[in-house]
Amino acid sequence: MRKKDYKKIRRQELLSFITDLNEKYTIYAPAKNSGPVEATNEFTFREMETVEGISLKHPPTMIPPKKYFFPSKETLFTFEDSRVNVPPTDEPFVLLGVHACDINSFLILDKMFAHGEHRDPYYERRRENGIVIGSDCEPTETCFCKSMGADKAEEGFDLFITDIPDEEAYIVTIGSATGEELTSTEAFEHVDREVAEDIIDGSLEWEEEVTVGTENLQKMVYRAFDDDTIWEELGNRCLGCGNCTMVCPCCNCFDVKDEASLQGEHVKRTRTWNACTLLEFAEVAGGNFRSSIASRYRNWIYDKYRIFPKEIEEFGCVGCGRCITYCPVRIDPREVIQEVREKHGR
């Protein structure tokens, strides 16, 4: 892990810095919504033409910023006139205002798509070309990132901006050589490491509404797999809508489809997000091996807290709380984990 350096920048200078970045790169950042959508989705990551409207202090967005590395729908290639055409994914961009939990989710996606023998070139190219600038957050009542060890970003970013209380300035943590280069201007002042880390630690001094115990959780979820008293009750409440998976920054299931013209002269292969909580996900020629909502929700929990740590030594959850916020019936994984712990913890 790179040894981090710290700098300081005044608020007005930061706006100028972002404006300069916008002249060189496409910037995606959280901006406040308006109209009916604001009631349920206050901020959205979107392409920004100017610095006006960018928010560095915001609650978690409904759709996580993973969409810029792993789009909800993308064309992998087209085949036309005996030629294969692969869309370019090499344009550099800046992802600004990313919370620590989402940065930690990028590290999980890296292990799924960019490590090991089978790598995803589309994800890798976007990850390589994306400049990640994080910022401290405004925790909500559904956040449990502290419990999941994701409330602080140690790596996976180029710069991280932390507000200095009672001062019109920010501490900027440098997380990469790219970040070092970006902060080489006079607008950035060097700051003492101890002072910077005290300010950063102070920004993390908040209490979760509900604390989740993760000790031995992997084993407890395994033991709870056949406990129908847990899963049937959840299945009776769950609508099977898939909201929890679609807003999760760690979920990475997808479907690949070929769309061909009737003459077979043109073929397009697309990839779209999919969700194990949806009925169609487990349909095969012989039927559906997870036909009940209860079995699908159990699988989702099992994947996150048993399979992920078994395969990549990380939980498939960063405690962002989106799955709670956007569940129509307010199913809360924190409560599910607590019930699993009470019945199968030993």
Q: Is residue 11 in some structural domain?
A: yes
Please indicate, yes or no, whether residues 48 and 172 belong to a single structural domain of this protein.
yes
Confidence of residue 263 (pLDDT cuts 50, 70, 90): confident
**Which residue from 29, 167, 149 is spatially nearest to 101, judged by alpha carbons?**
149
Residue predicted with more confidence, 57 or 136: 136
Over residues 266-280, the pLDDT tens digits come to 899 999 999 999 999
What is the Cα–Cα distance from 14 to 172, expressed in whole angstroms?
Answer: 10
- Same domain assignment for residues 302 and 237: yes
Q: Does the pLDDT of residue 288 top 90, yes or no?
A: yes
- Is residue 208 one of the residues assigned to a domain? no
- For 159-182, what is the mean pLDDT? 95
Number of domains present in the structure of the chain: 2
Q: Are residues 247 and 332 in the same domain?
A: yes
Per residue in 293-305, pLDDT (tens digit) is 999 999 999 999 9
Q: Provide the H-helix boundaries in the chain.
A: 11-24, 100-113, 121-129, 177-182, 193-203, 217-223, 228-237, 243-246, 293-302, 308-312, 322-325, 333-344
Quick check: 36 pLDDT over 70? no
Asked if 194 and 230 sit in the same domain, the reply is no
- Alpha-carbon gap, residue 168 to 183, rounded angstroms: 18
* 300 and 336 together in one domain: yes
pLDDT at residue 2, as a whole number: 65
- Contact assessment for residue 92 and residue 126, using Cβ atoms and an 8 Å cutoff: no
Cβ density class 161-195: b for 16+ within 10 Å, e for less: bbbbeeeebbbbbbbbeebeebbeeebbeebeeee
pLDDT of 38 above 60: no
pTM: 0.94
Same domain, 13 and 141: yes
Q: Identify whether 210 is part of a domain.
A: no
Same structural domain, 330 and 242: yes
User: What is the per-residue pLDDT across 52-92, written as a single tens digit (0 to 9) for each?
Assistant: 878 888 899 999 999 999 999 999 999 987 789 998 877 89
Q: Identify which of 235, 335, 316 has the alpha carbon closest to the alpha carbon of residue 277.
A: 235
Residue in 329, 148, 331 with CA at minimum distance from that of residue 231:
331
Q: How confident is the model at residue 32 (pLDDT cuts 50, 70, 90)?
A: confident
Both 334 and 224 in one domain: the answer is yes
Least confident of 87-96, 155-164, 249-258, 307-316: 87-96
> 331 and 235, same structural domain?
yes
Residue-range definition of the domain harbouring residue 83: 5-203
What residue type is assigned to position 110 of the chain? D
Q: What CA–CA distances, in Å, run from 68 to 94, 98, 222?
A: 10, 12, 33
Residue 212 counted as domain residue: no
Same-domain pairing of 59 and 134: yes
Backbone φ and ψ for 266, nearest 5 degrees, come out as: -130, 130
Average pLDDT over residues 93-118: 96
Could you tell me if 193 and 64 lie in one domain?
yes
